Copies of this chain bind each other. A is one copy, B any other.
């Protein structure tokens, strides 16, 4: 709390100090305010984001890396950017190809108090499956990775470990609550396997209490040498609460689950990169992007169809307003953010090899909700220099409800900060994000048209200012 207050005070003071220092050379003009107003008018009345998202979700569907739908999304966004007159490149990358297989099943087996109880689960992404007959074992509830380590082999061996630490509802920004709980999903299975567990079941990453399990990746990179990966699933929060109560009452409870997921051989896929060369500073790149892949359940509307159409519409809106960029604008659809980051890693590698300079990058990967500003990051020693001008622009952004804060930008772009530019993340209102995240209900209907359009306008305004003034 205090840190937050201080950071706000810092921004305010910075603004005042800058304003005093540079009275003779204002950070912006009245024309900028008018042009930003035009950007908003355009995005709210003539933008394409909502229609593009309709196509990507309702016509293409879920776009897990390696799937035919991911390939369709590559082709669709390539065509859209080509139609807008961008120079479009498909940048190859090798992605994992995980498939969910048959619908998952799980039940409490012969609870003394409740008999057989069916549970709502989803296999975690990249997880190994059970065998065809499924897996039955005693279940043990824990609240943390540390608790598993403390229980050791004696407590864990032969069991299904049930990670049940909820997200912290008192966090104002739900991403902080997510960050405080998601280690269970990402590392829970690997850590439990090290102590002889035969399966892992993880409370869904959401602040709601409902019957919808949330998938997401689990990774096995904490497995000790020689230890085999174990199957891992997410359980809905309602069923997590129920299972916890059954365990409390019955003490010894056997759980059955069956998953049919598997990792197939890697596939070639692509980042889709659209570019318009800058007229004055072509070597200074301003990137806007999102990730094209999504989970297979639902249709990846907020995560991250919204971010993809945000990024494409940023260029579309500026083009409709006949804006000619001085710097190079690059619209990037990253592949495989969800379960491997293959696209982002390849993009950064190639960019570094070419000694490119990303003056700025803006990622939208927090949903299509009403925008509340941007987070900013840069390498430590240059953050204050790089963020200075952006903070000076606050009076242009605040009328649209936008604020600035220091914080992570986005998984696909944050590595680019080694090129010494400023990385920004669009920060929409986060309250509803984890209602939909990685679920069958992350679909078209969950996105509000105006909220989506306002995200486009916020990003386009930032691109315009960075392009016009540099950093």
Contact of A33 among B5, B174, B400, B454 (CB under 8 A): B5
Q: Which residues of A (27-72) have their CB < 8 Å from a CB of B? A: 30, 33-34, 37, 40-41, 44-45
Q: Quick check: A370 and B448 within 8 Å, CB to CB? A: no
Given A44-B169, A44-B170, the answer on whether A395 and B5 have CB atoms closer than 8 Å is yes
Q: Quick check: B5 and A399 within 8 Å, CB to CB? A: yes
Q: Quick check: B9 and A172 within 8 Å, CB to CB? A: no
Q: A9: which B residues are within 8 A, CB to CB?
A: 395
Q: Quick check: A399 and B40 within 8 Å, CB to CB? A: no
**Range of interface residues on A (Cβ < 8 Å):** 35 or more
Q: Quick check: A172 and B40 within 8 Å, CB to CB? A: yes
Q: Which residues of A (201-219) have their CB < 8 Å from a CB of B? A: 207-208
Residue in B closest to A7 when the chains form the complex, CB atoms: B399
Given A44-B169, A451-B432, the answer on whether A5 and B396 have CB atoms closer than 8 Å is yes
Contact of A431 among B8, B398, B454 (CB under 8 A): B454
Q: How far is the CA of A399 from the CA of B170 in the complex (A)?
A: 13
Residue in B closest to A171 when the chains form the complex, CB atoms: B44
Contact of A1 among B5, B37, B429 (CB under 8 A): B37
Q: A372: which B residues are within 8 A, CB to CB?
A: 372, 401
Q: How far is the CA of A15 from the CA of B172 in the complex (A)?
A: 24
A-side interface mostly: helix
Q: How far is the CA of A37 from the CA of B44 in the complex (A)?
A: 36
Q: Quick check: A8 and B395 within 8 Å, CB to CB? A: yes
Determine if A449 is an interface residue (Cβ-Cβ < 8 Å). yes
Q: A37: which B residues are within 8 A, CB to CB?
A: 1
Q: How far is the CA of A449 from the CA of B169 in the complex (A)?
A: 11
Residue in B closest to A457 when the chains form the complex, CB atoms: B172
Q: A44: which B residues are within 8 A, CB to CB?
A: 169-170
Q: A401: which B residues are within 8 A, CB to CB?
A: 172, 372, 403, 429
Q: Quick check: B5 and A170 within 8 Å, CB to CB? A: no
Q: A169: which B residues are within 8 A, CB to CB?
A: 44-45, 450
Q: A431: which B residues are within 8 A, CB to CB?
A: 370, 448, 450-451, 454
Determine if A2 is an interface residue (Cβ-Cβ < 8 Å). yes
Q: A451: which B residues are within 8 A, CB to CB?
A: 431-432
Q: A367-400 vs B: 1/0 string, CB under 8 Å? A: 0001010000000000000000000000110111
Q: How far is the CA of A372 from the CA of B373 in the complex (A)?
A: 12
Q: Report the minimal beta-carbon distance from A436 to chain B, rounded to whole angstroms.
A: 11
Q: A207: which B residues are within 8 A, CB to CB?
A: 450
Q: Report the minimal beta-carbon distance from A394 to chain B, rounded to whole angstroms.
A: 8
Q: Report the minimal beta-carbon distance from A387 to chain B, rounded to whole angstroms.
A: 18
Residue in B closest to A172 when the chains form the complex, CB atoms: B400
Q: How far is the CA of A170 from the CA of B370 in the complex (A)?
A: 15
Q: How far is the CA of A172 from the CA of B461 in the complex (A)?
A: 14
Given A12-B12, A431-B448, A432-B448, the answer on whether A4 and B45 have CB atoms closer than 8 Å is no
Q: A274-310 vs B: 1/0 string, CB under 8 Å? A: 0000000000000000000000000000000000000
Residue in B closest to A13 when the chains form the complex, CB atoms: B16
Q: Quick check: A399 and B4 within 8 Å, CB to CB? A: yes
Contact of A449 among B208, B399, B450 (CB under 8 A): B208
Q: A2: which B residues are within 8 A, CB to CB?
A: 30, 33
Q: How far is the CA of A37 from the CA of B396 in the complex (A)?
A: 30
Q: A16: which B residues are within 8 A, CB to CB?
A: 12, 16
Q: A467: which B residues are within 8 A, CB to CB?
A: none
Q: Report the minimal beta-carbon distance from A118 to chain B, rounded to whole angstroms.
A: 24
Q: Quick check: B429 and A370 within 8 Å, CB to CB? A: yes
Determine if A337 is an interface residue (Cβ-Cβ < 8 Å). no
Q: Quick check: B33 and A399 within 8 Å, CB to CB? A: no
Determine if A338 is an interface residue (Cβ-Cβ < 8 Å). no
Given A1-B37, A208-B449, A370-B370, the answer on whether A399 and B429 have CB atoms closer than 8 Å is no
Q: Report the minimal beta-carbon distance from A359 to chain B, rounded to whole angstroms.
A: 26
Q: A239: which B residues are within 8 A, CB to CB?
A: none
A to B CB contacts below 8 Å, 27 in the list: A1-B34, A5-B33, A5-B395, A5-B396, A5-B398, A5-B399, A8-B398, A8-B399, A12-B15, A40-B170, A40-B172, A41-B170, A44-B169, A45-B169, A169-B450, A172-B399, A172-B400, A172-B401, A172-B454, A174-B450, A207-B450, A208-B449, A370-B370, A370-B431, A398-B403, A401-B403, A431-B451
